[in-house]
Chains A and B, each alone.
Chain A
Amino acid sequence: EDQVTQSPEALRLQEGESSSLNCSYTVSGLRGLFWYRQDPGKGPEFLFTLYSAGEEKEKERLKATLTKKESFLHITAPKPEDSATYLCAVRGYGGSQGNLIFGKGTKLSVKP
């Protein structure tokens, strides 16, 4: 069964304090790993898609990396506006086309 586990559940950082969020997954053939950002009261907002081990993608202060078992979302010198819940999801070959399996998320708080 495809499964996604995110850690930590919550992370508190000071502004400028870099850190990483972890997404561990088990999937029957990875078709894609997705990172989303969700602000309170809003729907998830797409950030990145990674397809193969070794792949990296960057967007402003965020950098996503992928191995065969996990993905990391690195946050460099975060700002208070980076505070949100970050969701990881996978799509595997075993599931229905387009079916994403989501983790429960990491709630990030960045204090000024």
Chain B
Amino acid sequence: DAGVIQSPRHEVTEMGQEVTLRCKPISGHNSLFWYRQTMMRGLELLIYFNNNVPIDDSGMPEDRFSAKMPNASFSTLKIQPSEPRDSAVYFCASHIYTLSGGSSYNEQFFGPGTRLTVL
């Protein structure tokens, strides 16, 4: 398996532009997470999907941020309009969770991240 795939790896854009980040989770995983990492705040959860349904979006900073998961193999995180304070590394992670003795499956697998710079 190729692991979690994210694109683009780097994005430089100007303030006010729309930015779309993409993620392909590991096949068979039923949960998908979007995180943002900065030096100041560390790794923060933005939104979480379970079986393609958004479960918790309380980490999404404001209405400029939106995320979708149209099917089990693809998700997008969109920022419109982008601002310089959105500059960060955005990670996607996927996860398979089972209730029956599934403790060994609770870890999340992270993608390589997208480094976003908003000028």
A residues whose Cβ falls under 8 Å from a Cβ of B: 31-32, 34, 36, 41-46, 49, 51, 87, 89, 91, 96-100, 102-105
Cβ < 8 Å to A, chain B residues 59-114: 91, 93, 95, 97, 103-104, 106-113
Top 7 A-B residue pairs of the complex, sorted by shortest distance between their CB atoms? A43-B110, A104-B42, A96-B56, A102-B43, A46-B107, A44-B110, A98-B31
Which of B45, B55, B93 is in CB contact (< 8 Å) with A97? B55
Q: Which residues of B contact A31 (CB under 8 A)?
A: 106
Q: Once A and B bind, how many residue pairs between them come within 8 Å at the CB atom?
A: 59
DSSP majority for the A interface?
loop
A96 to chain B, nearest CB (A): 4
Taking the complex as formed, is B34 at the interface, i.e. its CB lies under 8 A from any CB of chain A? no
Report 7 cross-chain contacts, Cβ distance below 8 Å, ordered by A residue: A36-B110, A41-B113, A43-B111, A46-B109, A87-B43, A96-B55, A99-B48
Closest to B108 in A: A100
Check A32/B106 contact, CB under 8 A, given A96-B48, A100-B45. yes
Interface residues on B, range: 20 to 34
B42 touches A49 (CB 8 A): no
Which of B42, B56, B91, B109 is in CB contact (< 8 Å) with A99? B56
Closest to B92 in A: A43
A49 touches B106 (CB 8 A): yes
B residues whose Cβ falls under 8 Å from a Cβ of A: 4, 31, 33, 42-45, 48, 50, 55-56, 91, 93, 95, 97, 103-104, 106-113
Which of A36, A41, A98, A103 is in CB contact (< 8 Å) with B48? A98
Q: A43-B110, A97-B50, A99-B45 are in contact. List 14 more A-B contacts (CB 8 A).
A: A41-B112, A43-B112, A44-B110, A45-B110, A49-B103, A49-B106, A51-B103, A96-B56, A97-B97, A99-B56, A102-B43, A102-B44, A103-B42, A104-B42
B112 touches A98 (CB 8 A): no
Check A43/B91 contact, CB under 8 A, given A32-B106, A91-B106, A96-B56. yes
Check A32/B103 contact, CB under 8 A, given A98-B95, A104-B42. yes
A98 touches B42 (CB 8 A): no
Q: How far is the CA of A104 from the CA of B103 in the complex (A)?
A: 24
Of the candidates B45, B56, B109, the one having the most CB atoms from chain A within 10 angstroms of its own CB is B45
